[in-house]
Chains A and B, each alone.
Chain A
Amino acid sequence: MENSPDPAPPLLEVRGISKSFGAVRALQEVDFTLRAGEIHALLGENGAGKSTLIKVITGVFPRDAGIVRISGEEVAPRSAKAALGAGIATVYQEVNLLPNLSVAQNLFLDRQPMRFGIVREGEMRRRAKALLADFGLDIDVAAPLGNYSVAIQHVTAIARAVDLSARVLILDEPTASLDRHEVEILFGIMRQLAQRGIGIVFVSHFLDQVYEISDRITVLRNGRLVGERETVSLPRLDLIRMMLGRELAETTSARASVTEHKAREICASFEGYGKAGYVAPFNLELRHGEVVGLAGLLGSGRTETARLVFGAERADLGQAKVEGVPVRLQSPRDGVRHGFGYCPEERKTDGIIAELSVRENIVLALQAKRGLYRPLSRREQDEIARRYVKMLDIRPPDPERPVGLLSGGNQQKVLLARWLATSPRLLVLDEPTRGIDVGAHAEIIRLIRELCDEGLALLVISSELDEIVTYSDRVVVLRDRAHVEELAGEAIDVGHILAAIAADGAATAHEGRA
């Protein structure tokens, strides 16, 4: 790998970094090199050590061994602030700025322009506006940051970092909650910064994006360096192989052949179902053994539909039926009682109970369904937890570990297990593969199919159209909080879905800009 003949030392050079947490060796002798002006993707499965490496480089975790050099000069920051001083800035997936302060205050936090001990608001706003103009943003900098989309918050965080004279910019999953249009804006900014000589580390699970933006790729696996390659000379299959260390099971094969296999029975139906100001009334039939995909842009009403179907939100119009019998879905409890399950998009805030163990998280919905007076004995809980940990390959396979310590993919599996344990008739999955590594991604898609073959009805939301096309029997397309089209059988392909999303105009998509 030492094939760079140029005498100038690389911008960021990491050599032989090791880090252990107790008995767990999170990083072993990892090397990483970032050159000035390049966009370098850092890839690996969940738990491969990407986050740990970033946190060691930025001084959040002390390292056990190894050195970090910036332009040939050794640095050992002891905090994120010290790292910033050394020229390394990190923007995390969850933007770590203050949403209640204005954009300008966020940009100049800790270094506001002062005169006589008083912050010069006007001056600060003027400079904030100029700074953001560099990034192609023209917004009201006096408004609270929280009023803006995640994309703008990200750009603000990046602008702040760059203005603090960062030479190394680490972006941890920056695109996870952005829509296509916003990703384009972000990529434009990244290219512009790279041209200015800033080195960018890009951590992402979206391989398309990695190929689109990065110059070079470093892959970690199980805390070790697998290799560093030029993006252009690394075929996708090889990359996935590097990340997984095993042949990826066949991930794409359309289910079209299995459809129309038999006339499927209706599991749940919704007629004229909707809520004013939330989602326009829609008709939806969910059948046993069938996957219905919900496609649409961010904010098109996908999650809202899912919440109405499950009962997390009360409909004010229409009629829901379960197995042909009219029911009222007033609360999640009603949904659970009728045999529904819901894996929400926001795993951390709406899904897991971080402090409780894997076992407790898995049995929670089943216990809630059984009620207070029919407690699951410890033996039954252990049994259920063991069964699902094994069935879904939850790692580490320790049912007593607090679920907050698991990686995102494994947390998602715990949530799936929680619902599977209730033997549901309908599962609603909101972005089940978001923020999950390639391996777990393929596994979850395989699971969706298996569950479906066992007669479960599934309603799945995903931003990844390829994915939706792969497993759906029918696809409902949403636009502007309304169901606009339903595709089935042969008609399901990415092109048709995109056409349905884009039909009727350019009015869509521009949600990022204020």
Chain B
Amino acid sequence: MTALLPRRGLAQVLALIVILAVDRIVSPQFFDLRLQDGRLFGSLIDVLNRGTPVALLTLGMVLVIATRGIDLSVGAVMAISGAIAAGLADSHGLPIVLAAALGAGLVCGLWNGFLVAVLGMQPIVATLILMVAGRGIAQLITEGRIVTFSSPDLVWLGNGSVLGLPVPVVIALGMLILTAAVVRGSALGLLIEATGGNARASELAGVGTRAMILSVYVWCSVCAALAGVIAAADIMGADANNAGLWLELDAILAVVIGGTSLFGGRFSLVLAVLGALIIQTMNTGILLSGYPPEFNLLVKAVVVLAVLLLQSPKLSGLAGIAMRLRRTKA
């Protein structure tokens, strides 16, 4: 039966190709790229650029989910870090702005990790606390207003370009490489997968499961904080009510599309980020097609269903039976 299962990653790549093809049909200029003022423009670049926040969230979320956890607070953490960055941008230098915003993410992550790893709370409940409270904290920071700024440094972070690519895309790529290097270059990847696969057994094998769980929540929140800074830099302001709203769900979706089970264990960083791109490619395609954005949700649901069906072992089993039937008839 294993031979009939799609190779790891095949389903996701196929899905992305199909969606890209559909995008090409609804928008004939979809693959057009042009260079202007040393920066590339085009729908593909747009997909990458718009997909950055979710891709960053996904990098942390996939590790959390691999430990059999979940982090619902990432959207709220984005709002907090965005509010801090916007508030400090015009009075402080970029390093301090970044340090403060990411530091806030670190604290949020420690809080989540403390609740889950030390107090043993269920992750969905533990992170729900910050999901609700975090947005309130962000609103307190912005005093309920939309805080705008004009610091060119921070604006550059959201709208500048490096080697023709938008800065957010470069940052996301850098974070993917950094995360992959840390996780797969050290023993972290194996120990996270072991913890998610069977925490009791891992603990008895001497794995520091608590430290493992704490660290993934911290990383997840730091990634979310970075996404929050980029989102704020993009619109040159912080909107505590709407920054990162519902993006935790997109991030979870991206992880699932990327083939990581919500029951923990095996994970793939690259496929999870690919999942984030699949979601954004759909979003952009629908915007370009001229259909009302409400369709987005419906189409998203259909594509998710398709990807999950492709990954389902039961379906592969059915396909195997169908093939055998055909062979016996022939």
> Which residues in A have some Cβ–Cβ distance to B below 8 Å?
21-22, 310, 312, 331-333, 335-337, 342, 344, 349-356, 360, 363-365, 367-376, 418
Contact = CB atoms under 8 A, between A and B. Distances in A.
Nearest to B261: A355
B193 A375 contact: no
B197 A367 contact: no
12 contacts: A332-B206, A337-B206, A350-B201, A351-B201, A355-B266, A356-B197, A368-B191, A368-B202, A368-B205, A375-B186, A375-B187, A418-B205
Among B2, B186, B203, B207, residue most surrounded by chain A Cβ atoms (within 10 Å): B207
Given A349-B198, A364-B194, A372 B188 contact: yes
The 5 nearest A-B residue pairs measured at CB:
A336-B206, A368-B206, A353-B197, A375-B187, A365-B205
Contact of B205 (A22, A336, A371, A376): A336
Interface residues of B, number: 24
Interface of B: 1-3, 185-188, 190-191, 193-194, 197-198, 200-208, 265-266
A374 B188 CA distance: 10
A108 B1 CA distance: 37
A427 to B, nearest CB: 13
Given A333-B206, A342-B204, A367-B187, A356 B1 contact: no
A188 B142 CA distance: 75
Contact of A352 (B3, B185, B187, B198): B198
Contacts of A349: 198, 200-201
A369 B206 contact: yes
Given A336-B205, A364-B190, A369-B206, 13 more contacts: A21-B1, A332-B206, A351-B201, A353-B197, A353-B265, A354-B198, A355-B197, A356-B194, A364-B207, A368-B202, A368-B206, A371-B187, A372-B188
A353 B191 contact: no
Contact of B198 (A22, A337, A353): A353
Nearest to A337: B206
B1 to A, nearest CB: 6
B290 to A, nearest CB: 45
Contact of B187 (A342, A353, A372): A372
B202 A353 contact: yes
B191 A372 contact: yes
Contact of A332 (B185, B190, B205): B205
Contacts of A364: 190-191, 194, 202, 205, 207
B197 A354 contact: yes
A7 B142 CA distance: 90
A373 B2 CA distance: 34
A310 B185 CA distance: 30
A375 B266 contact: no
Nearest to B215: A372
A370 B201 contact: no
Given A354-B198, A365-B206, A373 B193 contact: no
A456 B127 CA distance: 46
Contacts of B208: 333, 368
A238 B39 CA distance: 82
Nearest to B320: A22
Contacts of B3: 22
Contacts of B186: 372-373, 375
Nearest to B200: A350
Contacts of B194: 353, 356, 360, 364
Nearest to A333: B206
Contacts of A21: 1
A465 to B, nearest CB: 27
A360 B201 contact: no
Q: Which of B3, B193, B201 has the most CB of A within 10 A?
A: B201
Contacts of A363: 190
Nearest to A21: B1
A372 B201 CA distance: 18
Nearest to B263: A355
A369 to B, nearest CB: 6
B204 A360 contact: no
Contacts of B204: 310, 312, 332, 342, 344, 350-351
Contacts of A350: 200-201, 204
B200 A376 contact: no
A37 B207 CA distance: 52
A367 B191 contact: yes
A356 B187 contact: no
Contacts of A375: 185-187, 190
A21 B2 CA distance: 9
